[in-house]
Amino acid sequence: MEYRLILICAVTCAVALAAECGESRTFDLSPRWDAAVPLANPHKGWYHHYFDNGIAKYLPRRDEELIEFPGMDHIYLRLAWAYLEPREGRHDWKVIDDVIAKWTAKGLKVAFRISCRETGSYRVEQQFATPKWVMEAGAKGGFYSRHKKPGNPKFPWEPVYDDPVFLAKLEHFLRAFAKRYDGKPWLRYVDVGSLGDWGEGHTSSGSGKKYGWAARLKHLEIHTRHFKKTLVVVSDDFVQTAPTADGRKRLHRYIVDHDMSYRDDSILVDYWTRRDGKTWSVSAPELFEAVWRKRPTVLECQHLRLYADPDKWHGRPGSTTGRFNATAPDFIRGAIRTMHATYIGYHGPIHQWLALPGNPRLTAELLNLCGYWYFPHRVTVPAAPGNRGESTISVTWENRGVAPAYHPYKLLFRLRGPARRTVAVDARNMRWLPGKAGRTYTEPYRAAFFTGLKPGTYGLAIKLHSDQANRPVLLPLRAALREKDGFYSVGTVRVGAGDGG
């Protein structure tokens, strides 16, 4: 009798536990993956050098080139200070405002680098990237051209980057610039471009003068004082070309402590492919390692014309990439992985990039690889959910990209049948870090998914969504599963009357 009582109690507990926890049904989505489909998703992807070394480079031939480019996220405006403040206190914002208005209306974002020294031409705007009036106000500097005797007044002018007059005028400009643009919803990031040739932190094409960490720190401080809402990004060269190890350490510490991030301006530059081939021409992987988990990093390739020749592109013996038995695309792939890049740029005319061997397939591959790339493995639901109380639906995710998403997304569940319902929950996606193949995150989402629904059979669909970007986050699933509004069909669920699982 006692044994039977114990058995009855055990069965009762098991039934109660099953009712509480629920038997489950799992939909395996892995057979439905399509890893080749290009996913143009928010907060990641390609960018285009819209202004570069002036205002005529590399403008698209047609607007459609930018709009139709797979995963084009933003335009990158690298522009000399002189364009925007031709006279002291007189700002010509129209130079960039017209471009910003045009492309943001078409859905693109914007990033900036304002430079103080350009090279390669003796046009007035490049000779005085720092406005001429700054020199006339007493800022120290000189005229320099690479491998030529300095002093020719036709050479580009280079300021002394820690000169107090120069710094005061620069800060006054950046204060006005930040007041106008800091925190704009279309602004991805602002580069520190105020020191060195092309804003890269070195003077190798000019005076060759070495600037220590204290001088460089002044430029970082000016930017962080005025850009409070926008991500500030620093070229790794800015740190690496500081002359002492202690100085480099101090600068890096400041960058990390002030929530800044890094970019690499030198992917596929011959010198770095020869010196740092093992890290895919990324000269300082440790800098990126310190920031990528919290902030996006940016990859910039060498000017396209310099790496697109057939020998270098295919990595033939004798070419700068061929000596490492790797092609130019291999270097780009490797660099994206090494620096965990979220934003990537090819740095040249769009039509020339797309005409390279392997494109447009390579464009789609690199788009998916950069940043986050979410694969849903399984969706698990109660086998027979009731229509009272809350239920749990679990989804198992894998991030096959190289970085996390830096913004929270919603996960929407939609049920269609005798009635309709959509339930939104926090996806908890910011913790899905990339890792070894097969590393997954199983998220249990508990909500009133089925409460009050009429009993019957329902189709279940899911969608990731960015409220900030007001866009769906597309998944690498077969096109036949995707509906027009970004939901993906999962399967059917039979809802009954009673308590949920």
Residue 4 placed within a domain: no
Containing domain of residue 490, as a range? 23-35+373-499
Residue 144 placed within a domain: yes
Helix ranges (DSSP H) in 270-309: 270-275, 285-289
Same domain, 91 and 121: yes
Same domain, 349 and 397: no
Which residues neighbour 145 within 8 Å (Cβ) at sequence distance 6 or greater? 119, 152, 155, 156, 205, 206
CA–CA dist 270, 241 (Å, integer)? 17
Same domain, 280 and 161: yes
- Structure tokens that stand for 106 in this block: 């078409």
**pLDDT tens across 91-119, in order?**
999 999 999 999 999 999 999 999 999 98
CA–CA dist 393, 377 (Å, integer)? 13
Spatial contact of 46 and 72, defined as CB atoms under 8 Å apart: yes
CA–CA dist 219, 210 (Å, integer)? 15
How many domains are contained in the chain? 2
Same domain, 88 and 73: yes
What is the rounded radius of gyration, in angstroms, for the C-alpha atoms of the chain? 27
Same domain, 239 and 90: yes
Provide the pLDDT for residue 319: 82
* Band of residue 18 on the pLDDT scale cut at 50, 70, 90: very low
* Band of residue 15 on the pLDDT scale cut at 50, 70, 90: very low
Provide the pLDDT for residue 215: 98
Residue 5 placed within a domain: no
Q: Which residue from 177, 182, 186, 165 is spatially nearest to 91, judged by alpha carbons?
A: 177
Q: Give 276's DSSP letter.
A: S
Provide the pLDDT for residue 33: 98
Spatial contact of 87 and 57, defined as CB atoms under 8 Å apart: no
Same domain, 178 and 306: yes
Provide the pLDDT for residue 500: 58
Listed residues 309, 342, 369: the one ending a domain: 369
Instruction: Look at the block and give the residue holding tokens 């996006």.
Output: 296
> What percentage of the chain reaches a pLDDT higher than 70?
94
Average pLDDT over residues 257-271: 96
Could you tell me the pTM of the whole model? 0.93
Provide the pLDDT for residue 16: 33
Q: Which residue from 341, 301, 363 is spatially nearest to 434, judged by alpha carbons?
A: 341
Same domain, 353 and 470: no
Q: Is the pLDDT of residue 269 over 90?
A: yes
Residue 327 placed within a domain: yes
CA–CA dist 318, 261 (Å, integer)? 35
Residue 264 placed within a domain: yes
Residue 195 placed within a domain: yes
Average pLDDT over residues 402-429: 98
Listed residues 307, 337, 369: the one ending a domain: 369
Same domain, 280 and 428: no
Listed residues 308, 342, 369: the one ending a domain: 369
Return the biggest CA–CA distance within the chain.
Answer: 109
Find how far residue 136's CA is from the centre of its chain. Answer: 40
* Band of residue 443 on the pLDDT scale cut at 50, 70, 90: very high
Spatial contact of 182 and 228, defined as CB atoms under 8 Å apart: yes
Residue 3 placed within a domain: no
Residue 385 placed within a domain: yes
Provide the pLDDT for residue 5: 34
Give the CATH number for residue 252: 3.20.20.80
Provide the pLDDT for residue 321: 81
Looking at 70-74, 138-142, 197-201, 318-322, which range is the least confident one?
318-322
* Band of residue 125 on the pLDDT scale cut at 50, 70, 90: low
